[in-house]
Chain A
């Protein structure tokens, strides 16, 4: 443990060399710019910029890639808040409250709290990693298919019950997302399912074109209906974080960090459920639950810290087993491999210095992001001054590029357009967008988890109840569904007596 700290210190020292700091600054800035383009997320940016970094010294290269990663995430938050156009699922949660804040002229505040929350979530969890990495190894391994399935069932129950102000509307959105998630090749027989003979749908609906369509294109279509624009004058574009803002945000950030780290450790879950679980937790605990959806600052602070904490938690399987826990970590690992470091459990003992430099560089990326972006926020916010007539075609152009560039596929542009119409219709009908995103992400994971569980037990469903972690999650899911209505029933039964005696 103390050895880990020493190695982390050495890694930090390496990351703080002037040349490496320059790499971090450049990466952060480039990453933020790329991240602001809808659809071009961290994976795309790192993949595009990877050839440049190959000419650099390995340490600088990894630091730059990590900085690009963080820059991208923040760039994505910027467009999510300003234009309700997130390019990833995690930023979609931020967009819910953050964009409402922007509409009230508080875009600067939303961006500032995002930066601070991400920084906190990132910082605490980096040290948590160094502290508890080894003891948690066995925990990551305890998460087999049944546990995975049970955790996702619990998440989906929370999505529906807490994700929107109306359970019916939340359920409509969630089921729509599940139906969309079923498109593709079915995992039991390997047969096409709901693909309508379209080869491009055999892998399922591509997630990023769908999300850019639902949010970005849908938002533009909706705004076209009142072309005057609805943003408040941008006079309030400074970072006006009031004491009240901080008081509300602080506990949300602390909870988001803890929750995000815990979710991040489970290999394969990722940042989207982390952000969303934090959002529903804040909503659940809040005394002003009804205000959620109208621009509540803790609804930005919690998910942002959770997403970043989860991204770091996802490093744990990498550190202990050599298994990359997320797509981005996999790409970072690719750059290690080009330097002759093969990911695996021996990576730590054989190349510990390099690995801890990677971790330290993630941390430096975090710091640089805060230092670099806080002063830039007024500049980002001033983009809102561009008239809609110029801004919307630009955003639309970027969404088309973003949708196409993922798989060089024209089909994905059409897919994005269709989802734009769906997003527009959902806004008209007041159906929340985030549950769709959640079920589109979690649906295939849930199906896969269940299928693998049953393959392991040869069709015996009790495997879901005999493994303690899985059984606990399923029990909680049932409790969340059953307890509130029961309480309501009890209350109602008591009430007539009270009113009866009062009358």
Chain B
């Protein structure tokens, strides 16, 4: 009897085996998502949320590992070195990742070809914030002032060559205006500087700006996204204000180069299914984040577009120096 059961089980397994497209995920072997930032940040939180929902779908543990440092270069390098079997992935911040290999001065041990696009996950953008009493009512006021007397309008960013700096450079390139950039270390000192009047305008994230807008201390005059954000629906994009420019930033699930296309498709589909779920969306909204799914092919196209734009801006900054 026992023997028959065992045989039955084996037959059943054998029958199932051809149904599985590939050997992924290997039974009981965890999938690791490398987060190239420290624990507690936006990237980390969104990776952990994704991991929580991916785990039941994949049927193996999904572990988030923080490998912070060198503007994501350390985590990215680790991903590039890892086995392309689908068990090691990373949540990449596209602007940061692209920056590390597009700027040759950084001597990153990898390039675009070291990675496999899997799924676009989160889309966001910075905004332009001014004090409530500022004379700038919209982006065109700001640009006009910076054109009239170049390099006098002080524009604060969250860091040199950062995701907050390059949109400002793009604005200069597109309009011919010249700003006096002041680079801070992150959002907290930037917000302080804007409140103190040490800068005239700040390129900052929605999360850290909205509380000050609600308090009546700041105003937003333009959004760098390709479309408006649900968190500030009244705020027009820069493009809507007649300047042909958008500078969205993305979190995407990526893997090392050389992955089996079938595994890539399977992973991407699972991520897409998770993102589509209401329970997931609810949690994401609570974190003030907006999702945008793209399949591997769409992400690849988006990524090369992004690289081209980013490379031009980096070259512009390096030229100025």
Contacts and interface: CB of A to CB of B under 8 A. Distances in A.
B189 A407 contact: no
B197 to A, nearest CB: 8
Interface string B193-225: 101101100000001001110110100000000
A345 B67 contact: no
B211 A322 contact: yes
Contacts of A469: none
A199 B192 contact: no
Interface centre among B108, B154, B182, B217 (most CB of A within 10 A): B182
Interface in A429-481: 448, 451-452, 455-456, 458
Contacts, number: 113
Nearest to B182: A455
B68 A407 contact: yes
A110 B195 CA distance: 43
A321 B190 CA distance: 12
Interface stretch (A113-121, A139-147, A217-225, A382-390): A139-147
Contacts of A140: 192
Contacts of B107: 192, 197, 199
A203 B103 CA distance: 16
A455 B74 contact: no
B39 A47 contact: yes
Q: How large is the interface on B (under 10, 10 to 19, 20 to 34, 35 or more residues)?
A: 35 or more
A200 B161 contact: no
A342 interface: yes
A334 B41 CA distance: 9
Contacts of A142: 196
Contact of B183 (A47, A50, A187, A343): A187
A191 B106 CA distance: 7
Contact of B73 (A199, A317, A451): A199
B40 A334 contact: yes
Given A187-B160, A192-B105, A407-B38, A202 B182 contact: no
B306 interface: no
B188 interface: yes
B59 interface: no
A354 B217 CA distance: 22
B196 A144 contact: yes
A34 to B, nearest CB: 16
B123 to A, nearest CB: 21
Contacts of A458: 151-152, 180
Contact of B74 (A268, A342, A345, A409): A409
Given A141-B196, A323-B191, A448-B185, A202 B160 contact: no
A190 B160 contact: yes
A14 to B, nearest CB: 24
A340 to B, nearest CB: 8
B181 interface: yes
B198 A456 contact: yes
A489 interface: no
Nearest to B196: A141
Contacts of B183: 187, 451-452, 455
Interface string A367-386: 00000000000000000000
Interface string A174-198: 0000000000010111111000010
B49 to A, nearest CB: 12
B215 A409 contact: no
Interface centre among A142, A188, A324, A456 (most CB of B within 10 A): A456
Contacts of B77: 199
A141 B192 contact: yes
A452 B211 contact: no
Given A47-B40, A342-B211, A409-B74, A191 B105 contact: yes
A145 B67 contact: no
A56 interface: no
A476 B191 CA distance: 29
Contact of B215 (A268, A340, A344): A344
A166 interface: no
Contacts of B106: 192, 202
Given A145-B198, A334-B40, A345-B211, A408 B191 contact: no
Interface string B48-76: 00000000000000000111111101100
Interface centre among A334, A448, A455 (most CB of B within 10 A): A455
Nearest to A47: B39
Contact of A456 (B69, B182, B195): B182
A202 B71 contact: yes
Contact of B181 (A145, A203, A455): A455
B182 A199 contact: no
A6 interface: no
A212 to B, nearest CB: 18
Contacts of A268: 189
A35 B38 CA distance: 20
Nearest to A457: B180
B33 to A, nearest CB: 14
12 contacts: A47-B40, A141-B195, A199-B77, A202-B69, A343-B211, A345-B217, A407-B68, A408-B67, A451-B183, A455-B183, A456-B180, A456-B199
Given A144-B196, A202-B106, 20 more contacts: A50-B40, A144-B198, A187-B183, A188-B160, A190-B103, A191-B105, A267-B188, A267-B192, A322-B212, A323-B188, A330-B188, A342-B207, A342-B210, A344-B214, A347-B211, A407-B74, A448-B185, A452-B184, A456-B198, A458-B180
